[in-house]
Amino acid sequence: MLPALFERFGLNQLWPTGGFPGGVHPPEHKITADSPIIELPLPPQLILPLKQHIGEICAPLVEVGQHVLRGQKIAKSQGYVSASVHAPTSGTVVGVQDHAVPHPSGMGRPCLMIEPDGEDRPDESRAPISDYRNEDPALIRERIRMSGIVGLGGAVFPTFIKMLRDQRHPVQTVILNGAECEPYLTCDHRLMLEHAHDVLRGMDVIMHAVNAQNGVVAIEDNKPDAIAVMRGAIEAAGMDNVEVRTLPTRYPQGGEKQLIQTITGKQVPEGRLPLHVGVLCQNVGTAKAIHDAVCLGVPLIKRVVTISGDAVPNPANVCVRIGTPIPFVLAQCGLEDLNDVRLIHGGPMMGERLPRTHVPLVKSTNGILAFHRQSLYSEQAVEEPCIRCGHCVEVCPAGLVPNELAWHCRNDQFDRGQDYNLFDCIECGCCSYVCPSHIPLVHYFRYAKGQVAKIEKERAFAELSKARSEARDNRLAREQAERAARRSKVRKQHAPAADKAAKTAEKKTDEGKTGEGKTEAVKKEGDKA
Amino acid sequence: MSEFALILLSAVLVNNFVLTKFLGICPFLGVSSKLETAVGMSLAVLFVMTLASTASWLVQKFILIPFDLMYLQTIFFILIIAVLVQFIEMLIHKSSPVLYQALGIFLPLITTNCAVLGVALLNVQQEQTFMTSALYGFGSALGFALVLLLFAGLRERIDKAPVPDAFKGSAVSLITAGLMSLAFMGFSGLVKV
Amino acid sequence: MNILMAILTLGGMALIAGIVLAVASRAFHVEGDPMVDKIDAVLPQTQCGQCGYPGCVPYATAVASGEADVNLCVPGGERSMLAIADLMGVPPKEVEEEAAVPMLAFVREDECIGCTLCIKACPVDAIIGAPKQYHTVIEDHCTGCTLCVEPCPVDCIDMVEKEQVLEEWTWAAPGKRPSVPQTLHKDEENHAASTV
């Protein structure tokens, strides 16, 4: 409301740097910014979780012992919000079983195991769509869907859903998210430097598919080389409706809603999508994957990942097949012994600590950070009482009051928490980062969100059980009534004499009644007359 | 006009019924453990107190004084208050069964709430006019509602706070009430009535 | 004379008051007890009878009328108890029996003789089968109430722990150690050794 008010009185310059409120600027630690992307060799075994996206789990299409080709679809999506899985290389399927996946729970999910044959033979059934500009957008969208592409920034939402051409909400601007605001991570940075042309073509595909008028490539100002390269590439490609926008370096600049607010000045309203403000936001990695899928006919089978952290001897940006075990990737960077090492999946701000090390690299993995146990802050920090300094309120990019929110979440007052807009929290970690009392605020919010979902689920189950129990009671009552009716019928057939007697008795009373009725009717008529 | 404003201000802040005159302490401590019930109680008291002060003024003016029945003042006033309380009890039972359950015994106890009878008697004592007595009743109820809501908010918070074991429960509530009372004494220089 | 006047005025006032209240009680008449529905809504609807009443609605009725305690619902646990205490405006009481982990009934089909007794016992119709046929439990509908275990003449129904799946996992409260299943794969170490 406040920004709207500011705008109304022409005061929007007063709003900090014209972007989103709050934010922090943690030390960048982008030590891999200058290391080129290295292609990693094939591991001895690939582990492909059947669910690497938001939505429904996939159904496997292959059997154990079957030989698959690189790029062959091995699991098909079920339901609308889902993304299929493809074989990252040629080889043999050796198993379909539960295996630990990169998840903070450390629990397992059904996975397909593939043993590469080393030949890496491609599946060439999918032809490239080179002339995509003259192609039906629906076909391009279908190609993206078939290629199993999901948002590679970390949210892993199936990309084709976002690329809907909606008459009511036409997309004007496509924003290519190259902000990469998380410390340590440099995969998007390197991708823009080394594959600027492919990334731009991917963006062009998206713009054509949704019929957008203009495009913005958003890059934080701590990556001047990427800005220069992207500007040059745009000029070379002659895309005059695309511009590079330099953003101030401030975490979480790369958050979808924050980025849109910085670039367009519009806030995505609560519970709505970027589509509703005419914007489509895609990560640069996703744009590259779209380029590969449409222009080269290659589905999403590998991605660029930053391997960094103080426990890694040779930090690097690597291009890895999806499904490669993380210990294998780390070993390639010189880290063999994983004892006393803490792995973080994603960036240090939003990433999750992995309780298990032997997990595959999945579509959402944009970075793997390995730290010595003693250098992890969260290992030593002890939570102390809130001193109400208000730092968390200042830095919250969603405009929430984290200290109050955490108070209610800690005391399991989830209704109150929702009054404080618990579900608007984007879990960026700014509040936890600045808290001088080391309160794990985001952890409280994650806990509360989980509990709310759980309670809601239990309530729905209780309702279902109640409906079933009521239906049963009704059925039992009806059956009993039917049985009683049948029994009386049977009794009548078996004892006709008694029945007759009863009937005559009934008739008599009936007659008596009708007689009374008659007399009454007569009486009434008489009254009327 | 400024006279009305002064009466309102004085009744709400300066001569607050609960914290300065110490009337109506029973519901103040009884129904302040939850904000929702405190809101319900505040509305009930607001309704009863405003109507009771106007009705008692009318009774005083048109029945008690003409018939020289001043010695029946208390019983008449209690009768009026009791009717109002019964009425609002039915209303709440119909409109909000949960609030009805939550207010419990404290709802009928408004009848013997000294704040309600107090405002009726004070009106008579101070020989207010009809308008000012209605305003005084309304203002006093507003003051009651204000402190009740503040106190309920504080208690809800304290309930979850890490209070030393010896102070848990009503002990810390009473200390809080005392501190609030001290704070309200600060208003005493605000207006002179 | 004065006394008579006093009696008349007071009596008149009381009469008016009585009429007003009579009219009001007619106008604001409440049908039944709305509290029963509200209490029923916070119960887990397992219809298990562990509270000593034959189902969730009877228990809700008993609580609303004040004859049952608020802490009798075992599967609802502390949360149901707190919600009921809140609705009733009474201080919370500790739930005596610890709510067990969510359970499901499981019929060992080789031993089932197809007597349909468990089907009749299930309060939510979560067991399917026919006479002389194997019976089985619909997992999605089983409330884990254990009412089917007792009637089975061959004791072929087990209560098994509901399997925890990743989709239903939620973050534990800070400070509490998350429950990480420690032995998911026996060969994980071998795997790690072979791939590294």
| Most confident option among A77-91, B89-103, C150-164 | A77-91
- The chain-wide mean pLDDT, for chain A, equals 87
| Residues contacting residue A470 through CB under 8 Å, at least 6 positions apart | none
Nearest CA in chain A to B35: A416
Contact status, residue B28 vs residue B177, Cβ threshold 8 Å: yes
CB atoms within 10 A of CB C27: 10
The answer to whether A172 contacts chain B (CB < 8 Å) is no
Per-residue pLDDT tens for A250-281? 999 999 999 999 998 888 888 888 888 899 99
The answer to whether A404 contacts chain B (CB < 8 Å) is no
Contact status, residue C148 vs residue C121, Cβ threshold 8 Å: yes
CB contact under 8 A, B162 and A413: no
Confidence of residue A113 (pLDDT cuts 50, 70, 90): very high
What is the H or E stretch that residue A367 is in? strand A367-372
Among A378, A362, A484, smallest CA distance to A432 is for: A378
**pLDDT score at C146:** 85
Residue A526: pLDDT over 50: no
CB contact under 8 A, C184 and A440: no
pLDDT above 70: percentage of residues in chain B:
98
Going across the sheet that includes A85-86, the strands are A59-60, A73-76, A85-86
Q: Where do the structural domains in chain C lie, given as residue ranges?
A: 34-88, 101-180
Going across the sheet that includes A173-178, the strands are A242-247, A214-220, A173-178, A279-283
Residue C33: pLDDT over 80: no
Q: Which two tokens stand for residue B86?
A: 């019964």
Residue A122: pLDDT over 60: yes
The answer to whether C174 contacts chain A (CB < 8 Å) is yes
Residue A11: pLDDT over 60: no
CB contact under 8 A, C191 and A451: no
CB contact under 8 A, B69 and C9: yes
Per-residue pLDDT tens for B94-135? 888 878 877 777 788 777 778 888 888 888 888 888 999 999
| Residues contacting residue A11 through CB under 8 Å, at least 6 positions apart | none
Q: What letter represents residue B126's amino acid?
A: Q
Among A358, A363, A302, smallest CA distance to A330 is for: A358
**pLDDT score at A522:** 40
Nearest CA in chain A to C189: A358
CB contact under 8 A, C173 and A410: yes
Residue C10: pLDDT over 80: yes
Nearest CA in chain C to A105: C180
Residue C195: pLDDT over 50: no
B111 backbone dihedrals φ, ψ, rounded to 5°:
-50, -45
Q: Which of A328, A454, A471 sits opposite C195 (nearest CB)?
A: A328
| Residues contacting residue A347 through CB under 8 Å, at least 6 positions apart | A182, A183, A184, A185, A366, A367, A369
User: Exposed, middle or buried by CB within 10 Å (0-12, 13-18, 19+), for B81?
Assistant: buried
| Residues contacting residue B37 through CB under 8 Å, at least 6 positions apart | B31, B99, B102, B103, B152, C89
- Measured between CA atoms, how close is A117 to chain C, in angstroms? 15
User: Exposed, middle or buried by CB within 10 Å (0-12, 13-18, 19+), for A56?
Assistant: middle
Please report residues of B whose CB lies closer than 8 A to that of A413: 160
| Residues contacting residue A28 through CB under 8 Å, at least 6 positions apart | A183, A184, A222, A249
What's CA A423's distance to the chain center, in Å?
14
Per-residue pLDDT tens for A389-434? 999 999 999 999 999 999 999 988 899 899 999 999 999 999 999 9
- The dihedral region occupied by A388, where left means phi > 0, alpha psi between -120 and 50, and beta the remainder, is left
A320 backbone dihedrals φ, ψ, rounded to 5°:
-120, 145
CB contact under 8 A, B68 and C2: yes
- Measured between CA atoms, how close is A271 to chain B, in angstroms? 28
Whole-number Cα distances in Å, B38 to A277, A280, B152, B180: 42, 48, 6, 17
Confidence of residue C64 (pLDDT cuts 50, 70, 90): confident
Confidence of residue B7 (pLDDT cuts 50, 70, 90): confident
Whole-number Cα distances in Å, A300 to A68, A169, A288, B161: 16, 28, 10, 51
Q: Which two tokens stand for residue A402?
A: 């984290």
| Residues contacting residue A357 through CB under 8 Å, at least 6 positions apart | A326, A327, A338, A341, A343, C192
Pairwise CA distance, residues A152 & A284, whole Å: 8
Q: Which of B63, B94, B97 sits opposite C9 (nearest CB)?
A: B63
Pairwise CA distance, residues A117 & C97, whole Å: 58
pTM higher than the cut 0.90: no
Residue matched to tokens 């004592």: B125
What is the H or E stretch that residue C137 is in? strand C136-137
- Measured between CA atoms, how close is C113 to chain A, in angstroms? 24
**pLDDT score at B97:** 80
| Residue A368 bridge partners (DSSP) | A307, A345
Per-residue pLDDT tens for C140-153? 899 888 888 889 99
Q: What letter represents residue A126's amino acid?
A: R
Say whether the ipTM exceeds 0.90.
Answer: no
Please report residues of C whose CB lies closer than 8 A to that of B89: none
**pLDDT score at A495:** 66
pLDDT mean over A63-75:
93
A partners (3+ CB pairs within 8 A) are B, C
**pLDDT score at A323:** 94
CB contact under 8 A, C28 and B93: yes
| Residues contacting residue A445 through CB under 8 Å, at least 6 positions apart | A402, A405, A406, A409, A422, A425, A427
Residue C7: pLDDT over 70: yes
Nearest CA in chain C to B95: C28
Per-residue pLDDT tens for A485-510? 999 888 877 765 555 555 555 554 44
| Most confident option among A15-19, A460-464, B88-92 | A460-464
**pLDDT score at A301:** 94
The answer to which of A6-20, A306-320, B45-59 has the lowest mean pLDDT is A6-20
Contact status, residue A280 vs residue A252, Cβ threshold 8 Å: no
Residue C191: pLDDT over 80: no
Per-residue pLDDT tens for A27-48? 999 999 999 999 999 999 999 9
Residues of C with CB under 8 A from a CB of B: 2, 5-6, 9-10, 13-14, 17, 20-21, 24-25, 28-30, 33-35, 38, 86-89
CB contact under 8 A, B160 and A407: yes
Pairwise CA distance, residues A42 & C188, whole Å: 20
CB contact under 8 A, B69 and C14: no
CB contact under 8 A, C38 and B86: no
Indicate the Cα dihedral angle B122, B124, B127, B133, nearest 10°.
70
Q: Provide the total of helices (H) and of strands (E) in chain C, helices listed first.
A: 6, 4
The answer to whether C183 contacts chain A (CB < 8 Å) is no
**pLDDT score at C185:** 40
pLDDT above 90: percentage of residues in chain C:
6
Best to test chain C binding among A40, A105, A336 (most C CBs inside 10 Å): A105
| Most confident option among A127-131, B145-149, C110-114 | B145-149
Pairwise CA distance, residues C180 & A104, whole Å: 9
Residue with more model confidence, B1 or A109 = A109
Q: What is the DSSP string of B93-157?
A: HHH-HHHHHHHGGGTGGGGG-HHHHHHHHHHHHTT--HHHHHHHHHHHHHHHHHHHHHHHHHHHH
The answer to whether C45 contacts chain A (CB < 8 Å) is yes
Fold assignment, C34-88: 3-methyladenine DNA Glycosylase II; Chain A, domain 3 (1.10.15)
What string of H, E and C letters represents the secondary structure of A304-347?
Answer: EEEEECCCCCCCEEEEEECCCEHHHHHHHCCCCCCCCEEEEECC
Is the domain C101-180 a CATH 3.40.50.300 member? no
Does A252 sit behind a cis peptide bond, omega within 30 degrees of 0 on the bond before it? Answer: yes
Nearest CA in chain B to A410: B160
- Measured between CA atoms, how close is A52 to chain C, in angstroms? 12
CB contact under 8 A, B63 and C13: yes
Per-residue pLDDT tens for C84-102? 888 887 888 888 776 667 7
Pairwise CA distance, residues A259 & A252, whole Å: 8
Pairwise CA distance, residues B173 & B33, whole Å: 9
**pLDDT score at C93:** 83
Q: What letter represents residue B166's amino acid?
A: A
Pairwise CA distance, residues A241 & A204, whole Å: 10
Q: What letter represents residue C178's amino acid?
A: P
Indicate the Cα dihedral angle A399, A405, A406, A408, nearest 10°.
180
**pLDDT score at A498:** 53
DSSP class of residue A31 equals: T
| Most confident option among A293-307, B27-41, C161-175 | A293-307
pLDDT mean over A227-232:
95
Pairwise CA distance, residues C167 & C165, whole Å: 6
What is the H or E stretch that residue A74 is in? strand A73-76
Contact status, residue A155 vs residue A54, Cβ threshold 8 Å: yes
Q: What letter represents residue B148's amino acid?
A: L
Helix residue spans in A147-281 (DSSP H): 159-162, 187-194, 196-210, 224-237, 256-264
Residue C186: pLDDT over 80: no
Confidence of residue A511 (pLDDT cuts 50, 70, 90): very low
Please report residues of B whose CB lies closer than 8 A to that of C21: 83, 86-87, 90
Confidence of residue C180 (pLDDT cuts 50, 70, 90): very low
pLDDT mean over C135-163:
88
